[in-house]
């Protein structure tokens, strides 16, 4: 009995000490937005470790005359930016009249086969091989040599990530989400006014900052003078579900998003009590039309673009929802080394005279892509797991119709 009592006492002391350290060094600093610089020191140490591991692998590969990296190709098929009109004109050898020709079918067949062979959509949603080993896997597709010392180092990394970091992060995540649900529900009982708005802002900021700590997220914010202001609309590139907490840990936002079930639904219903968030059902009508995408650009308000870019060396933040569920995704991130990202606040943008909502949206998208060093693509990311939308088919039909009958300007001249 004495031994059991002693064990219980030691466990109680360990729990008390652990919770006190958690409260003093993580939760309280998160509440007040204070950082001791421990996470950045941790990130710099990891970079040095990755560089050393990669150097050891390169030396081992060189001694065995092996190729450590395989050449990466941007595309299987060499493509040049040529318009539909030019391609059909060349295919007809330049002599045919602008009317339907059976040979035109081969143009669309060839383009379809090229899209299947060199699938640009799926390729953009697949993680690229890293040029350095981040010790997150035993090996990967490109790395052919791992020494005994590196294997032991990988094993130690597994113990640290799953034995220490994962339990700590799960505890912080439950703390942040639990406080968010409880406190937003309490704030929702207050009458609308300044006090309610003030408390809502403080609660959201505090809980999001705790959630950021649960991912060991190291965020660098640039150009803070361009941060979104009240009355404007914040538009950012969407890479991961955690984009929300990355942005909201630096400022308060009324969010617009899709209704979810389960735990996410509970969180959404609690949040909307304290702040006027908008959750919508994604109906069949909205899926078939691009109108819901451009609503933000139709209302004439100032748009504040934000570019978010994640560093894949420490952990992959992208969520392939067709492959992993939300729980698997969160566990994958919480068992990685860290989530490191940069956030750029771009100067506010307004719709120009004569510019429609789609053109304005594309201009904002291009600005975000330039700032974040991202690929500015015209297609919809939903194509990675869905059928081609009718709007894309109609666009090709209009271009082909223009080849056959000419533009309205050409017809007016004739």
Torsion of CA 375, 315, 309, 27, to 10 degrees: 160
Residue 139: pLDDT over 50: no
Could you read off the pLDDT of 340-362 as tens digits, one per residue?
Answer: 999 999 999 988 888 888 888 88
Cα of first residue to Cα of last residue in the chain, in angstroms, is 104
Phi then psi for 167, rounded to 5 degrees?
A: -60, -40
More confident residue, 120 or 168: 168
More confident residue, 35 or 22: 35
Please check whether residue 120 is in contact with residue 376, taking contact to mean a CB–CB distance below 8 angstroms.
no
What does the alpha-carbon distance between residue 221 and residue 247 come to, in Å, rounded to a whole number?
Answer: 9
- Which bin fits 319, alpha (ψ -120 to 50), beta or left (φ > 0)? beta
What does the alpha-carbon distance between residue 14 and residue 406 come to, in Å, rounded to a whole number?
Answer: 80
Domain-by-domain residue ranges, the chain? 35-66+129-380
Please check whether residue 308 is in contact with residue 237, taking contact to mean a CB–CB distance below 8 angstroms.
yes
pLDDT of residue 367: 92
What does the alpha-carbon distance between residue 361 and residue 298 come to, in Å, rounded to a whole number?
Answer: 9
88: exposed, middle or buried (C-beta count within 10 Å: 0-12, 13-18, 19+)?
buried
What does the alpha-carbon distance between residue 124 and residue 283 come to, in Å, rounded to a whole number?
Answer: 26
Task: Read off the pLDDT of each residue in 188-205 and give the average, rounded to a whole number.
Answer: 88
What does the alpha-carbon distance between residue 144 and residue 68 come to, in Å, rounded to a whole number?
Answer: 6
Task: Please tell me the pTM assigned to this model.
Answer: 0.72
């Amino acid at each position: 009995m004495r031994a059991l009592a002693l064990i219980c006492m030691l466990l109680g002391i360990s729990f008390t000490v652990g919770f006190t350290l958690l409260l003093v060094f993580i939760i309280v600093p998160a509440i007040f937005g204070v950082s001791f610089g421990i996470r950045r020191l941790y990130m710099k140490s990891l970079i040095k470790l990755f560089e050393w591991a990669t150097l050891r692998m390169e030396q081992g590969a060189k001694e065995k005359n092996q190729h450590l990296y395989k050449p990466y190709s941007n595309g299987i098929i060499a493509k040049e930016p040529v318009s539909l009109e030019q391609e059909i004109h060349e295919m007809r050898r330049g002599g045919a009249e602008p009317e339907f020709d059976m040979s035109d079918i081969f143009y669309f067949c060839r383009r379809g086969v090229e899209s299947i062979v060199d699938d640009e959509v799926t390729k953009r949603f697949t993680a690229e091989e890293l040029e350095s080993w981040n010790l997150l896997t035993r090996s990967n597709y490109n790395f052919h040599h791992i020494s005994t010392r590196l294997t032991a180092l990988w094993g130690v990394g597994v113990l640290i990530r799953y034995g220490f970091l994962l339990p700590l992060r799960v505890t912080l995540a439950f703390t942040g989400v639990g406080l968010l649900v409880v406190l937003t529900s309490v704030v929702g009982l207050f009458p609308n006014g300044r006090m309610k708005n003030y408390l809502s802002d403080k609660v959201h900021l505090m809980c999001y900052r705790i959630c950021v700590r649960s991912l060991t997220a190291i965020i660098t914010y640039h150009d803070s003078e361009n941060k979104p202001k009240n009355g404007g609309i914040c538009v950012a590139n969407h890479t991961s579900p955690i984009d929300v907490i990355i942005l909201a840990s630096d400022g308060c936002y009324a969010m617009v998003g899709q209704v979810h079930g389960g735990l996410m639904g509970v969180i959404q219903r609690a949040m909307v009590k304290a702040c006027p968030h908008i959750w919508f059902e994604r109906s069949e009508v909205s899926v078939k039309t691009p109108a819901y995408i451009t609503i933000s650009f139709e209302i004439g308000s100032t748009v504040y673009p934000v570019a978010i870019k994640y560093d894949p060396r420490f952990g992959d933040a992208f969520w392939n929802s067709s492959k992993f569920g939300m729980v698997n995704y969160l566990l994958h991130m919480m068992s990685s080394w860290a989530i490191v990202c940069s956030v750029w606040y771009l100067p506010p943008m307004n719709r120009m005279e004569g510019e429609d909502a789609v053109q304005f949206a594309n201009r904002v998208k291009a600005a975000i892509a330039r700032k974040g060093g991202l690929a500015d693509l015209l297609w919809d990311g939903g194509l990675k797991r869905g059928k081609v939308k009718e709007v894309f088919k109609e666009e090709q039909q209009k271009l082909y119709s223009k080849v056959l009958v000419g533009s309205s300007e050409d017809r007016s001249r004739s």
